[in-house]
């Protein structure tokens, strides 16, 4: 199919509370899991419609402007499509502790990035768990994993907890960029300074008179906040954010920009870069697991995999050295003249000036020194282009910007 192809039928099944407001801003929508999400925003009177091509499509420059604006100043993403599950009860902590690889025994307000594994150590889910209250948690995952993750939790959580799907109860705006704190402070009735609001934490606060859950996280690698808003208040809070961000030239940003920015940061996406056939060591996510904190589903398999040493394949990031070609995914990875894998996801990395992607390199005991010594190419339509390979993020590898 065409790159980024969108179906014409079975559309508008699920809409964000902000849908009409974003239509007015020039949003061009794409569908995932039945949910309409803004993929990019047309500018300067252009039509918000895909014109398909295997070359640079009609939205390429709009995407570049969004991407660079968020990196330089401020952008807002409509992430209302997030699946949101509430888990409550006296056993909620213990039950989530068993199905999650990370340590869920955290203070109220902490946000935990984690995976769910199967018995073989395969990655069944990639999500966040937030401790809202002592016996109340939110599990936040992608719309594409909504049914799968819900069923996984239903299968493994016991009668000691209650589960509720609150996905439609809350909209979500992700405010990202170096000026996100300054803009949000204008409408927040709480102190959100760095000394009072640490990365990886959240709390309820009033924004422009509306009670919201705000957490300091980023999937794009910048200082940022995810704001969960009661659906009925979404339009009002969005308007307040746009007004507060006007002096910073706030821009609406779409899911294509989210994708290119997360790739620059090396953030994985379940279903493309990681899945049940991959384990934590292969995916470069073993740092998340806390086997010393207690038992979890897949723990024995993880310990066995870790004790075996470096895995048989590793997820690696690649940046083309030529700024011209485009990458989409499934392009062959060539190492010293031999095909060793394929790209699992790819996009144009506007901060880095070329297309990039990530994919598994099938070489046992692969290390950073091996990558540096090897000659890598990515094959595009029969032509091989030189590429730089890295196990670390190609943009801000230390993560200093999002922790500012």
pLDDT at 159: 83
pLDDT at 137: 99
Summarize the confidence of residues 44-59 as an average pLDDT.
97
Number of domains forming the structure of the chain = 2
Note whether 63 and 279 are within 8 A (CB). no
Task: Quick: pLDDT tens for 303-319.
Answer: 999 999 999 999 999 99
Summarize the confidence of residues 110-129 as an average pLDDT.
99
Task: Quick: pLDDT tens for 366-390.
Answer: 999 999 999 999 999 999 999 999 9
pLDDT at 160: 86
**Final residue of a structural domain among 165, 183, 206:** 165
Quickly tell me which residue has 């790819």 as its tokens: 346
In a domain, 98, yes or no: yes
In a domain, 293, yes or no: no
Percent over 90 (pLDDT), the chain: 99
In a domain, 160, yes or no: yes
What is the pLDDT confidence band of residue 37, given thresholds at 50, 70 and 90? very high
Summarize the confidence of residues 145-167 as an average pLDDT.
96
In a domain, 334, yes or no: yes
Instruction: Say how far apart CA 86 and CA 138 lie, in whole Å.
Output: 5
In a domain, 376, yes or no: yes
In a domain, 232, yes or no: no
Range of the structural domain that residue 379 is part of: 310-404
**Final residue of a structural domain among 138, 165, 192:** 165
- Nearest alpha carbon to residue 286 among 262, 261, 268: 268
Residues in the chain: 404
What is the pLDDT confidence band of residue 136, given thresholds at 50, 70 and 90? very high
- Report the mean per-residue pLDDT for the chain: 98
CB atoms within 10 A of CB 118: 15
Percent over 70 (pLDDT), the chain: 100
Summarize the confidence of residues 11-37 as an average pLDDT.
98
**Final residue of a structural domain among 165, 191, 211:** 165
Three-class DSSP labels, the chain: CCCCCCCCCCCCCECCCCHHHHHCCCEEEEEECCEEEEEEECCCCCCCCCCCCCCCCCCHHHHHHHHHHHHHCCEEEECCCCEEEEEECCCHHHHHHHHCCCCCCCCCCEEEEEEEECCCCEEEEEEEEEEEECCEEEEEECHHHHHHHHHHHHHHCCCCCEEEECCCCEEEEEEECCCHHHHHHCCECCCCCCCCCCCCEEEEEEECCEEEEEECCCCCCCCEEEEEEEHHHHHHHHHHHHHHCHHHCCEEECHHHHHHHHHHCCCCCECCCECCCCEHHHHCCHHHCCHHHCCCCCHHHHHHHHHCCCCCCEEEEEEECCCCCCCCCCCEEEECCEEEEEEEEEEEECCCCEEEEEEEECCCCCCHHHHHHCCEEEEECCEEEEEEEECCCCCCCCCCCCCC
In a domain, 136, yes or no: yes
Is residue 359 pLDDT above 90, yes or no?
yes
Summarize the confidence of residues 243-256 as an average pLDDT.
99
In a domain, 280, yes or no: no
Summarize the confidence of residues 1-27 as an average pLDDT.
97
Summarize the confidence of residues 225-236 as an average pLDDT.
99
Residue 329 sits in a domain whose CATH number is: 2.40.30.110
**How many CA atoms lie less than 13 Å away from 255 in the CB half-sphere?**
20
**How many CA atoms lie less than 13 Å away from 174 in the CB half-sphere?**
22
Residue 106 sits in a domain whose CATH number is: 3.30.70.1400
């Amino acid at each position: 199919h065409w790159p980024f192809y969108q179906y014409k039928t079975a559309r508008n099944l699920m809409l964000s509370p902000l849908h009409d407001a974003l239509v007015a801003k020039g949003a061009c929508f794409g569908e995932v899991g039945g949910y309409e999400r803004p993929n990019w925003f047309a500018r300067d009177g252009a039509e918000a419609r895909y014109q398909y091509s295997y070359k640079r499509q009609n939205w390429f420059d709009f995407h570049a402007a969004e991407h660079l604006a968020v990196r330089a100043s401020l952008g807002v993403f409509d992430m209302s499509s997030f699946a949101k599950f509430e888990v409550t009860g006296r056993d909620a902590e213990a039950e989530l502790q068993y199905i999650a690889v990370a340590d869920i025994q955290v203070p109220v307000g902490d946000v935990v990035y984690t995976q769910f594994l199967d018995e073989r150590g395969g990655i069944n889910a990639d999500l966040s768990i937030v401790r809202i209250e002592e016996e109340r948690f939110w599990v936040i995952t992608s719309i594409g994993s909504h049914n799968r993750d819900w069923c996984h939790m239903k299968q493994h959580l016991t009668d000691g907890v209650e589960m509720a799907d609150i996905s439609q109860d809350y909209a979500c705006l992700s405010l990202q960029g170096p000026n996100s704190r300054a803009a949000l402070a204008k409408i927040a009735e709480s102190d959100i300074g760095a000394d009072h609001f640490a990365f990886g934490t959240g709390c309820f606060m009033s924004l422009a008179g509306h009670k919201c859950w705000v957490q300091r996280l980023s999937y794009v690698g910048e200082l940022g906040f995810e704001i969960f808003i009661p659906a009925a208040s979404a339009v009002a809070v969005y308007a307040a954010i746009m007004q507060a961000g006007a002096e910073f030239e706030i821009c609406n940003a779409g899911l294509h920009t989210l994708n290119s920015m997360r790739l620059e940061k090396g953030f994985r996406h379940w279903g493309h870069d990681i899945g049940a056939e991959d384990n934590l060591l292969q995916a470069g996510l073993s740092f998340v697991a806390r086997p010393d904190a207690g038992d979890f589903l897949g723990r024995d398999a993880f310990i066995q995999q870790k004790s075996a040493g470096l895995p048989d394949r590793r997820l690696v990031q690649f940046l083309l050295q030529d700024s011209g070609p485009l990458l989409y995914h499934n392009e062959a990875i060539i190492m010293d003249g031999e095909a060793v894998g394929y790209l699992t996801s790819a996009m144009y990395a506007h901060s880095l000036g070329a297309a990039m992607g990530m994919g598994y390199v099938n070489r046992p005991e692969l290390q950073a020194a091996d990558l540096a010594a090897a000659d890598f190419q990515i094959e595009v339509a029969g032509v091989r282009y030189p590429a730089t390979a890295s196990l670390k993020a190609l943009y801000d590898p230390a993560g200093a910007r999002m922790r500012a």
